[in-house]
Each structure stands twice: as C-alpha cells, then as structure tokens.
Amino acid sequence: MFGLFNKNSGSESLPEWFTTLEESKERLFLFLDKLEAKMEELCNAAIPELKEQLANDEDMYKRTFHRVYAGINGQLSNIREKARDVYDEKINDLYDNLKSEVSVLHPHYDLLSKFRTECSDRYNKEFEEKYQYWRNQLEKTQERDLEIEYQKILAEYDEIKNSFNCKQCGGNITIEKIFFIDTYIACSHCQTQNTFEPSSQARNLQNFARNLAEQRVSHLLEIYHTENNKERELYHERHELSLSTIHEKDKKILAQNQSQMDDLENRRKEVIKNAPKLYHVYLRAMYDEWNKITPDLKEHHEKLYENQINY
Ligand SMILES: [Zn+2]
C-alpha cells in the first residue's frame, strides 16, 4: 500500500475506489490465510487418524474409514466453496462493477487490472494449489490400505500353506498358491477331493488387485500426464505469440516470431506423438503388476489389455 502511495506525487492523485480495492484485496488475503490454516489443521489431525483406522480396522470393507474419509473430504470441499463464494462476491463483483465505470483509457486503469491479477493469483493459483495438495495427502491415506491388505494376505498364505490337512486321511496338503475362490484340491495320499475355502480377505484380493497394480505404477501415469499437458501449454504459448504480433510491422521481428511459432508447433507435434507411447508404457507396467498380484487371472488380464490398446 505504502509503495503505491510513494510512487505517486500524492494520495490525492489516486482515485477514491483505490482504497476499496486495497481493503478488499487485504480482506481476501486474510480470509484465504485463515482457510488455508484451517485446511492444514484439519488434515494434520485427520491423516494420522485415518491411517491408524485403516491399519487396525478388521472390517474388510473399511466402512468406518471410508465414512470418516468422506467426512474430511466434505469439510475440505466446504472450505474450498467458501473461498470461491468470497472470491466471486467480493472480488469478481467489485471488479465487474468498477470496470463498467473505469475504462481502459482511465489513467488508473492499471490499478484495477493489477488488483484483479493479484487477487486471482492468490485465489486461483496459491489457494487452489494448497487445496489440491491436501486433497492428495488425504487420498494417499487410502493407498497404504491396499499394500497393507496385500501384505496381510501374503502373511496369511505363509501361515496356512503347510497347515491344511485332508479331511479323509489327515495327510498334509500343500496349498500351492493364493486362492481367492473355493477350490477342490486332491489329497496326494488318498486322492480324496478336499475343498479349500479361502478367507474373506483372500477372496477380496481379486477386487482390489487392479487398484493395487495401478498404485504401484502411478508414477508412470504421472509422467504420461505431464507430457500430455504440454500439448495445451505449447498451444497456448504459440497462440499468445501470434497475438503479440498483430500490430507488428517490422519484418525482421515478424520472421523471428514466425520461426519461434514454428518451433513451438513442432514441439507440440512431438508431444502428440510421444504421449500415447508413454501411456502404453504405463499400461503395460500396470498389467505386469496386475499379473504378478493375481497370476491365475493373467489370461483374462491380457484380453483386457488387448482390448484397451486396440480401442
Ligand atoms: Zn487324504
């Protein structure tokens, strides 16, 4: 605020609406500070609790966890909505009202556009980034779930694989692998068919195996998304460059710009070619992980894979 006053010969030269802008901006920043502190407090308290809930909950469907998780997520969304409401009401409306009075030719028009940019950056970039950060941290509490579930199933398998006995002769029957459906196993001593009934957590493996596989290779999906997003970025960069030369007459500058634009377009075409390849790398890795987790379903997985890449 002081900086702006100093730049001018005196405060009289500033329009009276300038104070309103400064006050609104200040109030928005303070309000967003508070909301960010709230998100941080909420998540810092909830995340360790959620993790503990997940680790200790015996319920296979983790219903308590999901209820609490949904509750925290809801509270986060409420905070975000509050920020949006205040931004729309106090900043956008004020800007729109003033814009109808202050034309582009107004000597202080730049104060108005600066106000808009600063508020928008604070809200759309800074606040939104923090919201997404906490949203991701919260989501990650679910991820541990599957790896832990899987470890539990492995531990259970280690325990039972040599302790299953024939109902007829009592002879030991080795469980060769993790089964997740009822399976007939012939006794090697007396040939009697025995039914092996997997535990409920082992049965559940086929329901979450794919999610677990996806989690394990999520970094590859991230690489694909980053590459894919570049397409839009390069497009916009080129577009802005083309706008910047609308009034340009200098042929040398125009030629320079054109070559820059061509360069951007070439890079964009590269990205368009490269992104699907990266997606395939992700997919193949995901299916490999999936096959490792539930090898019995490999044939089925591979059919899905073929469908997905030929789609
Ligand atoms: Zn037997």
Residue that has been written with the tokens 């590459």 in this structure: 227
For residues 125 and 210, give the distance between their C-alpha atoms in angstroms, rounded to a whole number. Answer: 34
**237 close to 256: Cβ distance less than 8 angstroms:** no
Rounded to an integer, the average pLDDT of 53-70 is 86
Q: Model confidence over 101-136: pLDDT tens digits?
A: 888 888 888 899 999 999 999 999 999 999 999 999
**256 close to 245: Cβ distance less than 8 angstroms:** no
Q: Model confidence over 221-248: pLDDT tens digits?
A: 999 999 999 999 999 999 989 888 888 8
Evaluate if residue 307 carries a pLDDT over 60: yes
Q: Model confidence over 30-60: pLDDT tens digits?
A: 999 999 999 999 999 999 999 888 878 778 7
CA of 172 to the centre of ligand 1 (A): 8
Question: What is the residue-averaged pLDDT of the chain?
Answer: 91
CA of 202 to the centre of ligand 1 (A): 24
Q: Residues within 5 Å of ion ligand 1 by Cβ?
A: 166, 168-169, 171, 187, 189-190, 192
First-to-final CA distance of the chain: 58
Evaluate if residue 23 carries a pLDDT over 80: yes
